[in-house]
């Protein structure tokens, strides 16, 4: 074993200049997905990969975990035409890799998180309630009367709807329509999308995508347009 390295079960520790953790895709899962892409090539003109991931790199929820970028690159290397991420309820960067798009998270297009009629007993128990309580009581307790949590963070109610075109497997056009899910409306209206140019959604997405080499401009409609080589 190299100096400065220690192994504890499935974890490997290395001496470094900073404290951080690095993750990689599970090798068996990656092999299975690459095989699925290979099989799909004889059944479809275009192959889209969908992945649900909450994991982060560093301390920002907008930063996808290392394994997610490695996973997305390997999928495109294997023949996928786009990778579409979701899970953390907010936008993450866009990367153009080998002339194909990777959306590390598109957030939510619609979210009616607080309109469910039932919940498991353990959810109520986690808040000191029982299932004899109403869903309204549960959500009020969890959110401290709607002053904290998922639906009180504007980022969680902002997204884009992408439109892209390809020719011979190469991305030729990518536009992004900004939407907001009515953050400033009563809870029964939250989660329904509407077109938005008021809250800097494209600007924020452009800034976080810049480190991936992605340049996004805003056209006269208020849409984001990804600059392509």
Q: Residue 1 has what pLDDT?
A: 61
- Whether the predicted pLDDT of 124 surpasses 80: yes
- Return the sign of the alpha-carbon dihedral for residues 24, 30, 33, 35: positive
Q: Over the stretch 13-30, which tens digit does the pLDDT of each residue have?
A: 777 777 777 899 999 999
pLDDT in tens, 48-99: 999 999 999 988 899 999 999 999 999 999 999 999 999 999 999 999 999 9
Residues of the chain with pLDDT > 70, as a percent, come to 98
Q: Which of 115, 124, 130 is nearest to 186 (CA)?
A: 115
End-to-end CA distance of the chain: 44
Residue 12 has pLDDT above 90, yes or no: no
* Environment class of 28 (CB within 10 Å of its CB; exposed 0-12, middle 13-18, buried 19+): exposed
Distance CA 190, CA 178 (A): 16
């Amino acid at each position: 074993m190299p100096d400065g390295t220690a192994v504890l079960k499935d974890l490997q520790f290395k001496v470094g200049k900073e404290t951080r953790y690095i993750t990689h895709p599970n090798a068996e899962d990656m092999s299975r997905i690459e095989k699925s892409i290979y099989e799909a090539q004889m059944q479809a003109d275009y192959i889209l990969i969908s992945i649900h991931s909450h994991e982060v790199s560093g301390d920002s929820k907008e930063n996808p975990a290392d394994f997610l970028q490695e996973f997305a690159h390997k999928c495109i290397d294997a023949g996928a035409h786009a990778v579409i991420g979701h899970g953390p309820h907010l936008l993450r960067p866009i990367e153009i890799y080998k002339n194909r798009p990777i959306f590390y998270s598109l957030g939510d297009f619609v979210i009616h998180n607080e309109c469910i009629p039932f919940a498991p007993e353990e959810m109520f128990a986690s808040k000191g309630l029982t299932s004899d309580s109403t869903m309204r009581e549960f959500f009020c307790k969890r959110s401290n009367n709607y002053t904290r949590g998922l639906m009180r963070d504007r980022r969680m109610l902002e997204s884009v709807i992408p439109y892209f075109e390809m020719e011979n497997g190469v991305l030729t056009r990518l536009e992004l329509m900004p939407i907001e899910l009515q953050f400033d409306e009563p809870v029964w209206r939250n989660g329904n999308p509407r077109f938005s140019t008021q809250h800097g959604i494209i600007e924020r997405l452009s800034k976080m995508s810049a480190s991936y080499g992605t340049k996004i401009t805003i056209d006269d409609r208020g849409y984001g347009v990804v600059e392509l080589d």
